[in-house]
Amino acid sequence: MKINPAQKEQLKLLSLLKSKEAKIGIVGLGYVGLPLALAFVKKGYFVLGLDIDNEKIELIQQGVSYINHIKNDTISNSVSSGNFQVSTDFSKSKSIDALILCVPTPLSKNREPDLSYILATLESLKQYMHPGQALSLESTTYPGTTEDVIKPFVESTGLKVGRNFFLMYSPEREDPGNKKFNTTNIPKILGASSDQCKEVGVALYEQVIDKVVTVSNTQTAEMTKLIENIHRSVNIGLVNEMKPLAEKMGIDLFEVIRAAATKPFGFVPYYPGPGIGGHCIPIDPFYLTWKAREYGMHTRFIELAGEINAQMPNYVLQKISDSLNSLSIALKNSNILILGIAYKKNVGDLRESPSIQLMELLLEKEANIQYSDPYANSFPKMRNHSFNLKSINITKENLLNQDVVVLATDHDSFDYDLITKYSKLIIDTRGRFEPSNKIIRA
Residue 142: Cβ within 10 Å count? 24
Q: How far is CA 156 from CA 3, 118, 149, 161, 334, in A?
A: 26, 16, 11, 11, 59
CA-to-CA distance for 403 and 421, rounded, in angstroms? 14
HEC letters along 128-147: HCCCCEEEEECCCCCCCHHH
CA-to-CA distance for 17 and 122, rounded, in angstroms? 23
The answer to whether the beta carbons of residues 237 and 306 sit under 8 Å apart is yes
* Catalytic positions: 280
**Alpha helices (runs of H) in 249-351, residue ranges in sequence order:** 253-260, 284-294, 300-325
Q: How far is CA 283 from the centre of its chain?
A: 10
The answer to whether the beta carbons of residues 307 and 313 sit under 8 Å apart is no
Q: Are strands 335-339 and 404-407 parallel, antiparallel or unpaired?
A: parallel
